[in-house]
Amino acid sequence: MKNSLHVTELSLYDIANVAGVAADLNHIETHPKVIGYTGQENLSTALVGAKVVLIAAGVSRRPGMSRDDLFDKNAPIVADLVRACGKSCPEAMICLITNPINSTVPIAAEILKKEEAYNPKRLFGITTLDIIRTNTFIAQAKDLDVSKVSCPVVGGHSGSTIVPIFSQCNPAVALPRRVLEELVARIQNAGTDVVNLKAGEGSSTLAMAYAGARFANSLLHAMKSRAEIVECAFVESEVAETDFFASPVLLGPNGVEKVFGTGNVNKYETELLKNAIPELKKNIQRGKDFAATY
């Protein structure tokens, strides 16, 4: 975000000391000013006046770690940070990176409702990592220029809830069912593959940083210029039989300007969506149940 043309001030917050990181970033010859804030007592100061908040705090996956383990550790972290946003920057766009997204976004929504600060147009679960992986894997399979490949990914942000819509890929790609199934498995398990290859040293960080910055820059650009920018995101939605759903979203000054549906999908993609919905519903409800008593 220090490289962004749309940022004037960048506030870093952590429970660990970030003064050194802020100083290091300030040596980069780009416009944004960086300020580091450490500790719970400085959280409100870090948030006041923020237009966009990116939340990436929490525990990352380790080999053998279940989604339940991740939820138990990250749910209270997200709830506390979002509550602080509701108090200190209630008009900010809140963009969640912390997993499990399928549950942390509903948690954020319920906590913001308690603070009387919930605006569904201003809450996003960033699923851009699924998009860039899908584009990359399609380009590799078809020997295409990856910078010219764009394929929507809908549903959620974990396992079987990640549904790439190959039939809407630009440029159009023709792939046999066997290859499609291999690509789906690779996309849905890409995060686990990285976790296992890092052998206990964390999860996807570099690709996630790129994906998070891409989404944030798209949002900031749309907020400032009213350009018609579309990105996939996990938002409150009526697209499917769930309260939240990832699909292409038109971004603008108000955040979510329009939520697009899944569009025309083929038989195989319909099967994937049908399989995704029960798991997605369960993930969303778990987040709501947690927030109700937190």
pLDDT tens per residue across all 294 residues of the chain: 999 999 999 999 999 999 999 999 999 999 999 999 999 999 999 999 999 999 999 998 888 877 778 999 999 999 999 999 999 999 999 999 999 999 999 999 999 999 999 999 999 999 999 999 999 999 999 999 999 999 999 999 999 999 999 999 999 999 999 999 999 999 999 999 999 999 988 899 999 999 999 999 999 999 998 788 999 999 999 999 999 999 999 999 999 999 999 999 999 999 999 999 999 999 999 999 999 999
Please tell me the predicted confidence (pLDDT) of residue 225. Answer: 87
Rg (CA), the chain: 19
Buried b (16+ CB within 10 A) or exposed e, 75-114: bebbbebbbbbbebbbebbbbbbbbbbbbbbbbbbbbbee
290 is written with which tokens?
């947690």
Q: Which domains does the chain have, with CATH numbers?
A: 9-126 (3.40.50.720), 128-282 (3.90.110.10)
Distance CA 280, CA 238 (A): 14
Strand partners for 258: 250
Residue 283 is assigned to a ligand binding site: no
Q: 116's torsion region: left (phi>0), alpha (psi -120 to 50) or beta?
A: left
Please tell me the predicted confidence (pLDDT) of residue 242. Answer: 98
Distance CA 151, CA 172 (A): 9
Please tell me the predicted confidence (pLDDT) of residue 226. Answer: 76
| Cβ(191)–Cβ(204) below 8 Å | yes
Residue 62 is assigned to a ligand binding site: no
Please tell me the predicted confidence (pLDDT) of residue 270. Answer: 98
47 is written with which tokens?
């948030």
Please tell me the predicted confidence (pLDDT) of residue 65. Answer: 79
Residue 133 is assigned to a ligand binding site: yes
Give catalytic residues, as residue numbers: 157
Asked whether the whole model's pTM tops 0.75, one would answer yes
Residue 61 is assigned to a ligand binding site: yes
